[in-house]
Every structure is written in structure tokens, then in C-alpha cells.
Structure 1
Amino acid sequence: MADIPHTSNWINGQYASQTPTTITVLNPAIEKPLATINATSQETVNEIVTTSLHTFQTSAWRQTDASVRFSILSKAATLLRARINDFVALETAQTGRPIREMRTQLSRVPEWLEYFASLARVHEGRVTPFKGAVINTLTRVPLGVVVLITPYNHPLLIAMKKIGAALAAGNVVIAKPSELAPLSVLRLGPLFQEAGLPDGVLQIVSGYGRDTGRYLCEHPRVSKIDLTGGIATYRAIAPIAAMNMVPITAELGGKAPVCLFPSLEVEVAVKAALFAGFIASGQTCVTGSRLLVHKDLYESFRDLLEKRVRALRIGDPTDEKTQIGAVISQAAVERSAAFVDRALQDGGKLLCGGNATTNSEGKGFFFEPTIIETHARSDLACKEVFGPVIALVKCESEEEIVQVANDTSYALGASVWTNNFAQAHRVAEKIEAGIVWINGHHLNDPSSPWGGFKESGLGKENGVEAYESYTKVKSTVINYGVAPVWFDDEVSEARYG
């Protein structure tokens, strides 16, 4: 392992020492080590949180003028954009996603820094209509030390959603990327330092989620937890956070329905399904993993979909022609295979795919893009796979599509595809989801709030909502005409409340 590079935690403006125990990060497409990272202990986590709290209390960052925050975060965006090709190569290697996907996605990531930088610059307080000779100002102040837990599927994008908002609001940030794909996030430390961010304001800590992530979330001195992960992770940390009175933003996954109506051309419907279902090999929280197809479109749609899926090019993520890359790990392969097995036992019909595969050397964590005809209450149609295994469900009517779309415990994203304007609005209004796209899917913007209902989570990423969630409202009441006469012998015009 001596020839494998090591990337340590970024703490107080420098890379820390290597820990005695390390974690190997694999390239999932070829099963070869990319680097090792620190497995951060509870003792070290406690030291980092204590140091970060001291930084928050003593550093000028929380009181830095908004124009300065704007300048630093804008410069970080400029630096990131100039080096984006390096990040594209790194993200492709650590996630196994096709380079054509990563190049397109990462080209937009600097926009999140620019958006939150600008929002910090223009965000305004309020003056309430307080009765009498009193002025009441409402201002937003930073929370303190915030912990960000980010996943492996979109390492840089999701980290930047959280980091941008948290720094813009004046907090000290501790980011903990997934141990499966942490390298691009760990590389952000020097970039922000170069942009002028004071040392210690952004700490980046690596380790196993079950250990390092839990230690961070359980620490009583953190002021907020922002988690993207699974419902089991949320349920593990929520009781401790509640005991410590720490607010949580949680983005916990989904089972997004793709609602396809017969006014749509079949070629467009199939393209919609391919994009919704197989971007990132199905490893997104809004993967269109339930294709709910109206009976009048179903037969022609199914036939063309099968043809198109069979033709998808799966293989080397660094090849510009590759359309489907690897999944993140052997566990992801086995999870996808288990869903296929259960779906077939449940009476599903396999149209295409369904098998694990490898590269020409017998290496890599790949799973064929898979379509299974099934019923609306099947395990495959109701539970999150997080892999390229898609449920195809035939529906008799618009009403049934809406009913099936809403009949899961998830409610993050959904898309409605139709050329009928009235139907588009009617169905979108009835669907229970935090994000409903009409004639689109996976569309994202830093200004657009992102978050779900039910078991898909709490709170929002993106937008003013995210920025404000990293602040607390302070009410300052300025009395310029109400005299404190309550306990005078002869009380006149006394005011209580």
C-alpha cells in the first residue's frame, strides 16, 4: 500500500497527519485503489469540534461584512471553474460515473457558490409593524459549528450545495464526505484557502459514516446537522440530535414516479424514461425508478424502451462513448441483484438486463440497466434500489397514475410527461412530492429549493430556504417613546407587553 497516495483531513488550514488506521478508496470501475484516507477517531472528532467552536467564537468570519463573504466565495467559484477538469477526472475515477455525465454536471457546480455568495450580499432583514414608539429589527445571525454529511453519488455537487449556504451565512463548517468517494471534497480545502477563507472556517473530516459521521452528529456542541443519506442513518442520529436540541436538515432518498401520458410522442416518452432512470446508473435520490405508463401508451412504449435499453453502452467511465458506468461497490451490485430476484419471485417480467457484469478483465462493479414489468405494490415498485433497476407499471387511467405515484413512503421527486397543458397542471398539483417536474426530470438550480416530504426528509437544500436554515433570527427591540413608569406612584400611559 506504500505506493498509494494518502489524503488526510483538512484541518485549520492544512492537511493533518495520517491516522494509524486508514481507509482505502477504490475506483469502482476497475477495483483498484485510488488513495487512502484517514479513519478519524472519536477523540480526534472531539478535538476538531472544540477547535472549530473556538474558531467560530473568536474568528471574524461570523461578523465579516457580507461584501467580503461575497468576494471570497465568488473567488472560490472562479478557482473551481478554472480547475474543473481536474475535478471531473477525480469524480469519474472515484464514482465510476461516465465522464460525459461528470463533465456536464460539474461544469455547473461553481454556480452554487456564486448564488450563495450573491444571496449573502443582498439578503435583507426586516422591520416588524411593532405597536407604539418602538422599532423592532429582525436580523439573521449564523448558527455556529455545523456538520455536513455528504454521500458518494454526487460528491462535489451535494457538498457544494451545503458548504456554499453554510459559509455564506457565516458559520464554521465541518464537512464529512462519504468514505466511498471523498477525494474531490478533501481537495476543496486548499482551494478555499487560496480564495481567502480564514483557516479553520472549513474543516473536512474523513472516516466511516458509522463511526466518524456518528461521532460528529452526536457531539453536543454542534449547532446543526445537514445530512444526505438513508432513513436508517437519520433514525440513528435523530434521537441524539433531539436530546442536544440540534436541528437537522435531512435529504433521505426517494422513489420518484415518472408519469407518462398518451398525448406524448412515444419516442419522447422513452427518452424521458432513459434520462430519469439511468443517469448515474440509477444512483440518485430522484432516480425515475417507477415508470407509470398510461394503458394507451403502454405497448408501444414498452417495446421501444426495451430496444433502447438493450442498446445502452455500459463500460469504461473514461470513454466518451460510455453511457452507463459502474455502481459504487460490490454491495451495490448485490443490492441490485437482490431487487431483481425479489421482483421475479413476485411475478415480475424481466424485459432486459438483470445481471451483474464486469469489464473485459473481469473487474469492476457493473450492473446491466434493467427494466422489469411489475405491479404497483411490488417491492421493486415501492422501495429504493439506488441502482439501475427500474419498475415498469401499466396504469389504466390518470387517476390510477396519481394514486400509484402517491402510494409509497417517499415523496422527494416526481415528473409528469404530457402534451396536455391542463392535465400537466392537474396531475402535478395532486402528486405528493417536494419537487414535481413537468416534461423534465433531474432539473436542478441553486435557486430552486430541493427536499422532500414523508420519509424523503426534512428541510431544503438550495434557495433562500437553505441559506436561512443556516441562520437564526435575532429580534432587536428599540424603544424610543415608551416610558418605564409601571411602578410610579401615579401611573400614566404605562405599557405592559
Structure 2
Amino acid sequence: MFDSHYLPLINGRFTAFSEETFPASNAATGEELATITRSGKAEVDAAVAAAKAAFAGWAATPAAERAKLLLKVADWLEENTERLVQIDARDIGRTVFELPQDYRQAIGQYRFFAAAILTHDGWNNVVPGGWAIAKREPYGVVGQIIPWNVPSIMVSFKLAPALAAGNTVVLKPDENASLSTLELAKYLAEIFPPGVVNVVPGFGEEAGEALTAHPDVAKLAFTGSTEVGKIIAHAGASRLAPVSLELGGKSPNIVFPDIEDMDAVVDNTTFAATFCNGQSCLAGTRLFVHDDIYTEFMAKLTDAFRSIRIGSPLDPATRLGCLVSSKQGERVMKYIESGRSEARLVTGGERVEVADSQAGWFIAPTIFETGNKTTIAQEEIFGPVLSVIRWNDFDTMIHEANDIPYGLASGVYTSSLRNAMRTADRLQAGQVWVNQYVNLVDGSPFGGYKASGLGREVSKETLHMYTQLKSVMLAEQVPPPFYV
């Protein structure tokens, strides 16, 4: 299924300059799955040098040829989805039930950008005595750093647009979720010219810091916490390198009293808070429920949370697996303890034991009734913990929905077009999903307001992030003498 040891991918070869390794461990059982060579400054320097040397040739490759290779990546992922799902389920504790959707979305990204790059051009116009042209050109070497929660999606969000646009890439996967990325890297090494794609697994303070500080990295792209995003933004600013960031969230999910199918809304809001084991920056973790339906809705929501089947990530019947690590588990439990002291615990709140998976941090789906100013309502928890806030005044609710440092995603449930549109207009969020949370569509811009990031992914707008404009003015002839 996977190798016992992995090396960084540098210049088309799997190689390293260090003998230091770190383990990839089964999130549920603690079993060591493989060892991975730990990339440091030497590996990053070599990867950047390889990407820099490969850039001119790759940028000159016709867009149609670059697109063909992205389509090959999509086909390979499609053929290997079942195996890669099994790897991710072990590596990060996500369930085999929901991981196939990750790969469907990742496959869609490679195919979307393979098509989008063919129509991504600049601008031209006829002017008196000549022509005015604006052409889009890739930046060069792009340094990309991704998190552990949805590795296949994160790799596709970063690689597909950057490569389509003609950049070369040095990618650092998270140390908690490198296996499926390194399996993909074996195929990337086969089909892309050496140096076009380089993968340097390792830790943020070593590989990540070396990559963000490297003077030959022309652009940085990061998905992860807002705190680390600020550090990377400073690193880019220090040498005026452009930075795109997809960061944290604490998304409001708003239920109006005019909903027609309460059971369906309860199901979707439950999914919004607990998919990805709650470890998602776009999760709907603040649920605003109107007074008129609050009691009935909360009863159904509580039953829905209690009915979620917790178990081994490898069991197809499991709907909630384990958190990625003990560090993350302990972090979530600290937030739950904070919630016990400042809000009302409705259900959940405890660690659950699962047979043959004693090392895993399985957290019961948790609901708190709370106000908007509590710690659990303001800070990103990254676990299956939902804060429910009661509302009855539209303006007050909108104020509270926006009264947060973040602005990544949001949800609205209503049968009224007026309610949907006036709420969408006033929410300070990059995504507003009406009547279906996490309604991600290839080509629909994805990104955040405020502390949730800079830039947009998943769309043609993303190609703008990975290219820069050059203006070329062509005159038919040299003008008559000016100084005579």
C-alpha cells in the first residue's frame, strides 16, 4: 500500500542530505506506518535551486502541454483513490466514508485548471500607431506549505494552478500528513521534467522556515493557522515576495424560522460542524438558531450529534474518526474544559475509547449553548465542537455573526430569497452557502476576509495569484525627432 521509508523529491529524484527521520504514525492506533527523511535547509536549498533551473523551460512549455500533464495527474488520482483513501485514513484518522469526497474534489481541481489555463490570457488593444498588450507571466519558483487535515485537497489547491500557470514548485507537506503526498510525488517524478515539482517533507521550524526565507522563492502560498500565516506574510514582505494565505475560520451558520424541512437542516448543520472530524477551517462551528424554532431544533440537533457513529477510521460505518494527534486531542479537550466553565454543555465533551484504537483521540461530538463572546465561540478549536447561539433580532444576529476576527465561510438556511440575499450581502465572509453548507464547486472562488487570509483559490482568479502582468507597447515605427 505504501513504502516503509520516504525521501524528499528534489530535481526529479528521491534524495536527501540528512539521515534524520521522523515517523508517520497511525492516528488511531499509534502504530508506526513509515519513516520519512527530515528535510532541512540543505534539502530546501537544493529543491529551490532545481526549481529555479527548471523554470525557464517549464514556463516556455505551451499551456496545452502543461494541461495534458495535469490531466494525467487527475487520471492517476482517480485510478488510485481507493488506495490513497486507506493511506490517509491511517495517517490522519479521517474516515474511509468521507475521504473519497476529498479525492473527487482534488481530481476536479487538476481538471479545472487544465482547462482554465487554456483561456487565461492578458489583454490587447489597438492604439494609434501600434498595439498595447498586457501578458500574464508566471512568477518563477513558488514555495507552498500545506496543513494536515485534507492533504489531497490541499496539494491540488496549490499544485494545479501554480503548475498550470508555468511556475515551478517546492511543496512542504505537513509532518502529520505526508504519506499520500509522497505517494503522489512518485508519479509526479515520472511525468514532470526534473525540478518542476519538488517535495520537501519536514517540520515548520526547519523546512518551512528555510523555504519562506529563501531569496530565490518568488512567491509564497500557505494554508494553515492565522498565527503562522502572519509569520509567512512577514517573511514575504521582507523581500517584497507576494504571499497568498488561506487561514483560520470560526464560521457562522444561520438558521431562519421559515425553514421548511427542519430534519434536513439539522442534518446539514451537523455535517457542517463535524465533517473532517471537526478539523476544518471552514467548519460551521457557530450555529445561530432563531427563537421561534429553537427548542425543537435543539432537541433534534442533540439527537443528531448523539447518533453519530464514532469508531475506527477504517470501518465504512464510522462517521467520526479520531483527531490527527495527541497534541490536537489535548488542545480540543482544553477548549471543552473552558466551555464547561463559561457556557452550558448540552452533549458530548468527553474522550471516547474505541476498541483496538486506544492511542486515538476520539472526541464525542460536542454542543455548547453559549453567547458570542465566550472563548469557545471566538477561537478556532479544530475539533467536533459546536457553539449554538440563540437569536431573535436580525441586526443583532448579523452583528454577532461578523463580530469575530475571521471571515472565511458562512451558511444560511431559509426559504426566503429576501432573507438569503440580505444576509449574504451583510456577512463578512468569503463564502456564503445558502441551504447547503460546504457547497464547493470547481471555479467558484474560495478564500477569506479579515484574518482568514489573502487571495482566492479554486477559480480562474487563482491563476491571477500565480501570474504577474507585463505591459508591452508596440509602435509601428520610431516617432519623429523630439529634440530637433
Indicate the SS of the match to 1:253. Answer: coil
Mark the CA change 1:468 to 1:432 in structure 2 (over 3 Å): closer, same or farther. same
Contact persistence 2:311–2:354 (CA under 8 A): yes
Could you tell me whether the CA contact under 8 Å between 2:17 and 2:42 is conserved in 1?
no
Please report how far the alpha carbon of residue 55 of structure 1 lies from its aligned counterpart in structure 2 after TM superposition: 1.9
Q: Does 1:237 align with 2:238?
A: no
> What is the TM-score normalised by the length of structure 1?
0.94
Match of 1:97 among 94, 97, 119: 94
Shift of 1:211: 1.7
Q: Does the alignment pair 1:246 with 2:245?
A: no
Q: Which runs of 4+ in 1 moved over 6 A?
A: none
Alignment of 1:460-475 (within 5 A): 460-475=456-471
Kindly provide the CA deviation profile for residues 158-206 of structure 1, in whole angstroms up to 9, marking residues without a partner as x. 1111100000001111110000001111122232244x32121000111
Q: Secondary structure at the match of 1:107?
A: helix
Q: Unpaired runs of 5+ in structure 1?
A: 489-497
Which position in structure 2 is the counterpart of 1:395? 391
Take 2:294 and 2:18, find their aligned partners in 1: how far apart are those partners? Answer: 56
Cα drift, residue 107 of structure 1:
2.5
Distance 1:415 1:477, change over 3 A: same
How do 1:210-289 residues align onto structure 2 when only pairs under 5 Å count?
A: 210-264=205-259, 265-289=261-285
User: Structure 1 residues 305 and 64, CA, compared in 2 at 3 Å: closer, same or farther?
Assistant: same
Separation (CA, whole Å) in 2 of partners of 1:173 and 1:358: 42
Is the CA contact (8 Å cut-off) linking 1:13 and 1:190 kept in structure 2? no
1:360 to 355, 358, 370: 355
Report if the CA contact (8 A) 2:251-2:285 is conserved. yes
Query: Which residue in 2 is equivalent to 1:492?
Result: none
SS of residue in 1 equivalent to 2:293:
helix
The answer on 1:345 being equivalent to 2:325 is: no
In the other structure, the counterpart of 1:495 is: none
Residues 358 and 484 (structure 1 numbering): CA distance in 2 closer, same or farther, change over 3 Å?
farther
**In the alignment, residue 39 of structure 2 is paired with which amino acid?**
T
Give the Å deviation of 1:401.
Answer: 2.1
Of 431-440 and 441-450, more deviation after overlay is shown by 441-450
State the Cα distance separating 1:482 from its structure 2 match: 5.7
Q: TM-score, normalised by structure 2?
A: 0.96
Paired residue for 1:491?
none
In structure 2, the partner of 1:123 is 120
Offset at 1:310?
Answer: 0.9
Secondary structure, aligned partner of 1:140 = strand
- 2:102 is the alignment partner of 1:108: no
Q: CA deviation at 1:291?
A: 0.6
Deviation at 1:235, TM superposition (A): 2.0
**Paired position in structure 2 for 1:312:** 308
Matched with 2:165 is: 169
The answer to whether residue 304 in structure 2 is matched with residue 294 in structure 1 is no
Partner residue of 2:438?
Answer: 442
Give how far 1:233 is off: 0.8
Contact 2:102 2:152 (C-alpha < 8 Å) held by counterparts: no
How big is the alpha-carbon RMSD for the aligned residues of Structure 1 and Structure 2?
1.5
**Offset at residue 297 of structure 1 (A):** 1.3
Read off the aligned partner of 1:92 and give its amino acid letter.
A
Superposed counterparts of 1:27-42, under 5 Å: 27-42=26-41
Q: Which residue pairs with 2:200 in the alignment?
A: 205
Deviation for aligned residue 1:238: 2.1
2:432 is paired with a residue whose SS is strand
Determine if contact 2:17/2:43 at 8 Å carries over to the other structure.
no
* Corresponding residue SS for 1:332: helix
CA shift, 1:336, in A, is 1.2
Task: Please say if residues 24 and 33 of structure 2, whose CA atoms lie closer than 8 Å, have aligned partners that are also in contact.
Answer: yes
- Range with bigger deviation, 93-102 or 77-86: 77-86
What is the DSSP-based 3-state SS (H/G/I as helix, E as strand, rest coil) of the residue aligned with 1:416?
strand
Structure 2 distance, partners of 1:243, 1:108, is 35
Displacement of 1:16 in angstroms is 1.1
Letter of the 1:77 counterpart: A
Q: In the comparison of the two structures, how many residue pairs are matched?
A: 481
- Whether the aligned pair in 2 keeps the contact of 1:71 and 1:117 (CA below 8 Å) is yes
Cα pair 1:134 1:482 within 8 Å, conserved:
no
Identity %, equivalent residues: 32
What letter is aligned with 2:257? P
SS in 1 for 2:220: strand
Contact 2:447 2:455 (C-alpha < 8 Å) held by counterparts: yes
Report the CA distance shift for 1:353/1:129 in structure 2 as closer, same or farther (over 3 A). Answer: farther
Distance 1:225 1:359 in 2: 40
| SS class of match (2:264) | helix
Letter in 2 for 1:230: S
Map of 2:153 onto structure 1: 157
Q: Secondary structure at the match of 1:40?
A: coil
Q: Is the 8 A contact 1:294 1:398 kept in 2?
A: no
* Mapped contact 2:16–2:43 kept (Cα < 8 A): no
How far residue 39 of structure 1 moved from its aligned partner, in angstroms, is 1.4
Structure 2 distance, partners of 1:247, 1:128, is: 28
Separation in 2, partners of 1:484, 1:387 = 71
Unaligned 5+ segments in structure 2 are: none
The structure whose Rg is larger is: 1
